[in-house]
Structure 1
Amino acid sequence: MNRKTLVLTAAAALLTPALAACGSATGGGAGDGAIVVGTTDRYEAADYAPAPLDPAYAYDAGAWNILRQTLQTLMHVPRGGGQPVPEAASECRFTDQGNESYRCTLRPGLKFANGDALTAEDVKFSIDRVLGIKDENGPVGLLSTLDTVETKGEDQVVFHLKAPDATFPYKLSTPAAAIVNSKDYDARRLREGFEVDGSGPYTMTAEVKDNQLVRAVFTKNEHYQGDLKPQNDKVELRTFEDSAAMGRALEDGDIHMMSRTLSPDQIEQMSASPKKGVKLVPMPGLEIRYLAFNTEAKPVDQKAVRQAVAALVDRNELINKAYGKSALPLYSLVPSSIGGHVNSFYNKYGDGDTAAAARLLRDAGVKTPVKLTLHYTTDHYGDGTAVEFETLKSQLNDSKLFDVTVQGTPWSTYRPAQKKGEFAAYGLGWFPDFQDADNFVGPFLEKDNFLGTAYANSTVRGKLLPESRRAGDRTDAAPALAQIQDIVAEDVPVLPLWQAKQYVAARDGITGVEWSVNSISDLQLWELGSGVSG
């Protein structure tokens, strides 16, 4: 998630007409009694991303936050986390001891929002469509272990896997496996624009201004049959330019809740001096941030250079200067709160060790200072990013081992350039697709990985990842996962920096706030209600 990227785009000619009855996108209260949620996620039109809300294309936290409200999946992760449970399905299970065949039975009476019946053929069509389109920006990699999809009658679907994959139920809970209607979606082409149609708890209408989606209005789907229990009839997701504007809207009563992303300063202020009628709600979070390296680009094609960067970074100073209470140091791609985590980078490099970095470069015969540009996006990950990269620059340059410059680029240019391999060293974030260590290593290390990196480790790809996925009891996967994390720390194709804490803020009278965002940063708007909150 992606996860991931966070810009939504579309051709202007295909954009849904603006709503007439929802008020201003930047001021005024909600119309029609809707609960209004603010976000700083950007949804903008651009040629390079024509199908932002097509599940065969969308692979970012912002898009998935819309798809999860509107499209159904066979499974979903319950509000408190844990193992996936049936959603559009009534039952799903592995039918063999090797975790290579997975069968789901659909709930009776499933319908799309337009009233069309939803059958096993629609499930097969939807999954086959993602695999067939195989968009390079899309989530098809999540289905890499899937071989074929078979239907048995109108209500049973059997997934035949290429190799054992105990995480497959989690993957069926993501929008990569969302169910769509063949009347609305072409089997071979992406659906351009902001329209989305499915069988989820809500239908969605988009308001667009200047080629940007500024408001998404979710209305309860009267045909919905599933495991979720919506606590409202209408929710509005409203976008803001920055956290400050979103905060003012909350204080003025123009919105009821602010979600991603509160700034570090807002979190500090709300913690120290709570405002009457507004509550700050902390939540577990699994978002991570990291530096990534194009291992074919100079000077980071030399492992010693990447290792020296890893030794020099002081995560605690970085967090104190840029993020305060909203982040924790991270010494592995796998967050500390996920089973199987190992502090591999701390064990190998510690924090801010100039002597170790000098030794690594000297032993490899690398001439110093090493010239390096660190790239970051200026408008994608929140207010602390520029400070974060200036701090990284200072840490590396203060060692006298590096001569670092930083360069910020708007996301609409940044992500395509990164995918083309134009950056040697660059910052990205990851919002997991599901809560398992596999989702913090596989997407970075498999073939056709999320980064588009040339880095490949045959032991990881050929032995350790398959071995970890055979473990139905996920604790049995820990040894293989530990080896993967140690290999990443040795080779440093990516350098984990920090793990986010999550916060939302809401006005009194809104219930379900504590369940409205789960640990992988998915909005669960169906949990919100109006009433007396604690």
Structure 2
Amino acid sequence: MNRKTLVLPAVAALLTPLLAGCGGGDKSRAIVVGTTDQFIATEDAPAPLDPAFAYDTGAWNVLRQTVQTLMRVPRGSGQPVPEAARSCGFSDKESESYRCTLREGLTFADGTPVTAEDVKFSVERVLAIKSDNGTAALLSNIDTVETKGDLEVIFHLKTPDATFPYKISTPVAGILNKAKYDGRKLREGFDVDGSGPYTMKAETDGDKVTKFVFTKNAKYKGDITLRNDKVELRTFGDADGMDKALRDDAIDVAGRAMSQAQIRELTEKPQEGIDLTETPGLEIRYLGFNTKAPAVEEKAVRQAMASVVDRGRLVDQVYGPTAEPLYSLIPSSITGHATSFIDTYGQPNPAKAAKILRDAGVQTPVKVTLHYTTDHYGTETAEEFEALRAQLNATKLFDARIQGTEWSKFRPAQKRGDYAVYGLGWFPDYPDPDNYVAPFLDSDNFLNTPYVNQSVRDRLIPQSRREADRNAATPVYEQIQKIVAKDVPVLPLWQGKQYVAARDDVTGVEWALNTSSDLLLWELGRGTA
């Protein structure tokens, strides 16, 4: 076994010709990838793969293979590049008008031509449906969509937004065949019709997907080069099952999400024929609060929790070297990062927390339940919440309990506001500080939170988006992070690294999982790198 790390983007360009020539094995034999993501159609979420609803990493990893977007983030990250578009760019200095020209000859997988009207339909459909999953928020700054002929589409924005190219590179802006999708209604089930690099067939057991089969789309025209003809994405109930399948040679790649114990074992006790690859990651984990719930409505309760949670001990106890403490919503590797929580509260201090509660007239111990999902973020989540409960209860200031729920029920309950405190992870839609702020604090946000700070929504977020030079927006993001640390609508805990384990005859593994945890299945091939 070899331990690999992802090459730096600066070196990547030098290696591209070599990598492109690799994987000379049998392209027709399916590469089998494992995942612990679950895909379930429920009464609360009957359309998990509709771009107007889908807003989790697992669903996006299916959509990225099957629907095209005008732009895409290239391998190794960086600024978005044209995909379904031949060219895109702002046509004004204020970043309020964004013009794209489609590639000629684009068709959906069934042969229907892709036109500018399809782009307009797809975007306006998301805004019209405005699902409660927060998806539409990514496109909410669009005022109108104009088409000129079959190939040109112009987005007129309400306010300047230098991050807009990133937003239309996400599956929410996927181009759909309007003959297959209702403009006002979600498409239930697991069918997807697009013009992406693969067609897809889902195999199900009742309302749950067991396997996705991706087959090369012969009609695809775009910026992506496929290094295989077929990929199977198989779902596993837990990381142990996926790990066993890899060791038994039943799958070729173990993707999301390996456990910390498995990563350690493959590092310390290499297995013949299996390579472990570490790739840069931008995942964060945090506690969210329903700031209208009686248990945590008083800001002092949330501040007291922020004063006693020991992130370093939590990471050491549960995640080891696969994670590091996080003291802001914006992770350390993203422009604009600050350490606002440690700057505000210092090291864990029960005495400081007691004073905060006492000054606010809050009686102790504060009774609170910490809710987490049992089947979405990996096997360590339960252990993490047991550790958090122990930390809170050790102060005698809290009487904390924990409750685990499967994702298909957890997420709808969280959106309804059923939970006062809940744990979530965030895998960025695009690698920009805006995507660690707006989904939590802007209107129509992912959390469906009752927390509102008008200065952040009306002044600071719009101000940050005016800066085409993202480094110039750093002072604005620092202000936002200070406000979050003071009000504590969310409590950042840690940021993670990413690992993929694969059979040693599989190539392209280092590119197949990008910093946003997107599976880029077209990068995988067979042969000798």
Q: Does 1:224 align with 2:220?
A: yes
Deviations 1:385-414 (A, max 9, x none): 111111111111111111111111222222
Q: Cα distance 1:138–1:356, how it changes in 2: closer, same or farther (>3 A)?
A: closer
Counterpart AA for 2:73: V
Pick one of 189, 204, 220 that aligns with 1:208.
Answer: 204
Q: Does 1:391 align with 2:371?
A: no
Runs of 4+ in 1 over 6 A off after TM superposition: none
CA-CA distance at 1:363 after TM superposition: 1.7
What are the ranges of 5 or more consecutive residues in structure 1 without an aligned counterpart? 1-29
Length-normalised TM-score, structure 2 = 0.94
Pick one of 349, 352, 358 that aligns with 2:354.
Answer: 358
Q: Does 1:285 align with 2:268?
A: no
SS at match of 2:124: helix
How far apart, CA to CA, are the structure 1 residues paired with 2:417 and 2:49?
26
SS at match of 1:83: coil
Q: Does 1:322 align with 2:318?
A: yes
Q: Does 1:189 align with 2:185?
A: yes
Q: Does 1:141 align with 2:132?
A: no
Pick one of 51, 54, 69 that aligns with 1:55.
Answer: 51
Q: Cα distance 1:181–1:382, how it changes in 2: closer, same or farther (>3 A)?
A: same
Pick one of 437, 448, 451 that aligns with 1:441.
Answer: 437
1:421 matched to which residue of 2? 417
Q: Does 1:342 align with 2:338?
A: yes
How far apart, CA to CA, are the structure 2 residues paired with 1:389 and 1:137?
24
CA-CA distance at 1:182 after TM superposition: 0.9
Q: Does 1:178 align with 2:178?
A: no
CA-CA distance at 1:346 after TM superposition: 1.1
| Matched ranges for 1:24-63 at <5 A | 33-63=29-59
| Matched ranges for 1:296-335 at <5 A | 296-335=292-331
CA-CA distance at 1:138 after TM superposition: 4.9
Q: Is the 8 A contact 2:28 2:229 kept in 1?
A: no
Q: Cα distance 1:320–1:406, how it changes in 2: closer, same or farther (>3 A)?
A: same
Higher relative contact order (CA 8 A, sep 6+): 2
1:499 matched to which residue of 2? 495
Counterpart AA for 1:335: P
Q: Is the 8 A contact 2:27 2:230 kept in 1?
A: no
Identity, % of aligned pairs? 62
Q: Does 1:265 align with 2:256?
A: no
SS at match of 2:499: strand
Deviations 1:135-154 (A, max 9, x none): 11251010111111000111
Which range moves more in the overlay, 128-137 or 435-444? Answer: 128-137
How far apart, CA to CA, are the structure 1 residues paired with 2:293 and 2:52?
31
How far apart, CA to CA, are the structure 2 residues paired with 1:412 and 1:124?
31
How far apart, CA to CA, are the structure 1 residues paired with 2:123 and 2:145?
8
Q: Is the 8 A contact 1:56 1:138 kept in 2?
A: no
CA-CA distance at 1:45 after TM superposition: 2.9
CA-CA distance at 1:524 after TM superposition: 0.1
SS at match of 1:340: coil
CA-CA distance at 1:357 after TM superposition: 1.0
How far apart, CA to CA, are the structure 2 residues paired with 1:423 and 1:206?
33
Q: Does 1:123 align with 2:90?
A: no
Q: Does 1:83 align with 2:100?
A: no
Q: Is the 8 A contact 2:28 2:228 kept in 1?
A: no
CA-CA distance at 1:183 after TM superposition: 1.0
Report the count of equivalent residues.
504
What are the ranges of 5 or more consecutive residues in structure 2 without an aligned counterpart? 1-25
Q: Does 1:453 align with 2:453?
A: no
